[in-house]
Amino acid sequence: MTARIPVTILTGFLGSGKTTLVRHILAHAEGRRIALVINEFGDLGVDADLIDGCYDAACDAGDIVELTNGCICCTVSEDFVPAMESILARTPPPDHIVVETSGLALPQPLIRAFTWPGLKTRLTVDGVVVLVDGRAVADGRFAHDPGAVDRQRRADESLDHESPLLELFEDQMVSADIIVLNKTDLLEPPTVAALARQMERDSRNGTRVVTASRARLPVEIVLGLRAEAESDTESRHERHHEHHDDDGDGTATHGEEDHGEFDSFVVELGAVDAPNVLVDRIAGAVSRHPILRVKGFAAVTGRPMRLAVQAAGPRVDHYFDRPFLPDEARISRLVVIGMGGLDRTAIEAELTGSSSVASC
């Protein structure tokens, strides 16, 4: 069966940094062909520079769909589903799809759309990423320009939910797999830490909060989460809205790296005795350190196949992907990505099994 194309839903209020993050993703796509669905409208349409600067190996003109008829969570069947179907009809199809919603969109109706017959066998929600303007939240405004958000509401005749910003903010948060607390360069460190703790308390179990300045963060943190959010709609249900779903039937500079708030390193180890041994080590390390992602491959004693491993937060996925090549070294190699200040020595010891903590 053909693998489903992963889709990242990117949401957050106007001015939170969504477009900047999209540009950052495209600049660091690492060979992936990415299609974009952009949901802005009226005078608040997508920045033309984003489209003009997108025509490269990661994304060409035919891979961008603009939805300008209003908030896509309110026009799922009319706009969003046909847009996804048009992307799926392209040859070749993209490797990944990023949906940038308007600041007024509720993610939940979009997530549920991926259970529709026409989409569920071909697409999966890789993750829901919520961008948060740290300065605005610290000031109690939630959006950089509340007046612009109100004008956006009035411009959208299709909008069927008129919620206070706080309620809409909470509904976006509860759907998230990753919350990006952005613009931290405008805040003092104690304020950043307090906001991050509050967001962790207010979100679902397993949701990770990461901090960023100018939406610069390793792309691996927001892509490749394998969350399959469409299979977990109950825990992401709107807290404040009875949304009228359709009856579905069937500015970061390109090339510039500035990830000072994050650490990443590679751990090499020999063959492991069994997949569950490595999975337990990874899960234990994630529970004890601010690790966001672990990904890589491992050799398992007595098995000719290479074990692929991916961890996003507390969830660790693993599967045998292919046989080792005749001249390929049978080693295990894991990339660890986390918040700045990771204790590399301790983590390496736990992943290699040389730590007393890891062997408990």
pLDDT band at 347 (very low <50, low <70, confident <90, very high): very high
Q: What is the pTM of this model?
A: 0.73
- Looking at residue 39, its pLDDT comes to 75
Question: Element (H or E) spanning 38, and its range?
Answer: strand 34-38
Q: Does 234 have pLDDT greater than 50? A: yes
Residue 52 φ/ψ region, left for φ over 0, alpha for ψ in the -120 to 50 degree band, beta for the rest? alpha
Distance CA(76)–CA(286), nearest Å, equals 37
Report the percent of the chain where pLDDT is more than 70: 75
Structure tokens at 143: 């959006």
Q: Does 313 have pLDDT greater than 90? A: no
pLDDT band at 243 (very low <50, low <70, confident <90, very high): very low
Q: CA 231, 223, 321 angle in degrees (round to 5)?
A: 80
Distance CA(18)–CA(217), nearest Å, equals 13
- Looking at residue 258, its pLDDT comes to 43
Tell me the per-residue pLDDT of 11-29, one tens digit each, with 9 for 90 and over.
Answer: 988 778 888 898 889 888 8
Q: Does 64 have pLDDT greater than 60? A: yes
Question: In sequence order, what are the beta bridge partners of 312?
Answer: 293, 315
Q: Between these two residues, 236 and 153, which has the higher pLDDT value?
A: 236
Per-residue pLDDT, averaged over 268-287, amounts to: 93
- Looking at residue 159, its pLDDT comes to 47
39-53, 70-84, 193-207, 291-305: least confidently modelled range:
39-53
Question: 3-state class of 91 per DSSP?
Answer: coil
If we measure between CA atoms, which residue out of 169, 211, 228, 183 comes closest to residue 9?
A: 228
72-76, 141-145, 298-302: least confidently modelled range:
72-76
Q: Does 30 have pLDDT greater than 90? A: no
pLDDT band at 77 (very low <50, low <70, confident <90, very high): low
CA torsion angle for 200, 100, 232, 274 (degrees, to 10)? -80
Per-residue pLDDT, averaged over 126-136, amounts to: 93
Distance CA(56)–CA(257), nearest Å, equals 19
Per-residue pLDDT, averaged over 256-261, amounts to: 48
Q: How far is CA 79 from CA 18, 244, 278, 283, 355, in A?
A: 20, 15, 44, 40, 54
pLDDT band at 222 (very low <50, low <70, confident <90, very high): very high
Structure tokens at 357: 């903590």
Q: CA 165, 170, 173 angle in degrees (round to 5)?
A: 125
Question: In sequence order, what are the beta bridge partners of 216?
Answer: 213
158-162, 192-196, 283-287, 305-309: least confidently modelled range:
158-162
Q: Does 359 have pLDDT greater than 50? A: no
Distance CA(6)–CA(98), nearest Å, equals 9
56-70, 164-178, 222-236, 304-318: least confidently modelled range:
56-70
Long-range pairs of 257-262 with CB within 8 A, sequence gap ≥ 24: 257/216, 258/213, 258/214, 258/216, 259/216, 259/217, 259/218, 260/340, 261/184, 261/211, 261/212, 261/213, 261/217, 261/339, 261/340, 262/210, 262/217, 262/218, 262/221, 262/292, 262/337, 262/338, 262/339, 262/340
146-150, 274-278, 303-307, 344-348: least confidently modelled range:
146-150
Distance of CA 356 to the CA centre of its chain: 34
Question: In sequence order, what are the beta bridge partners of 256?
Answer: none
Per-residue pLDDT, averaged over 50-59, amounts to: 50
Q: Does 41 have pLDDT greater than 50? A: no
Per-residue pLDDT, averaged over 82-111, amounts to: 85
* Averaged pLDDT of the chain: 79
69-73, 97-101, 130-134, 264-268: least confidently modelled range:
69-73
For residue 231, count other CB atoms closer than 10 A to its CB. Answer: 13
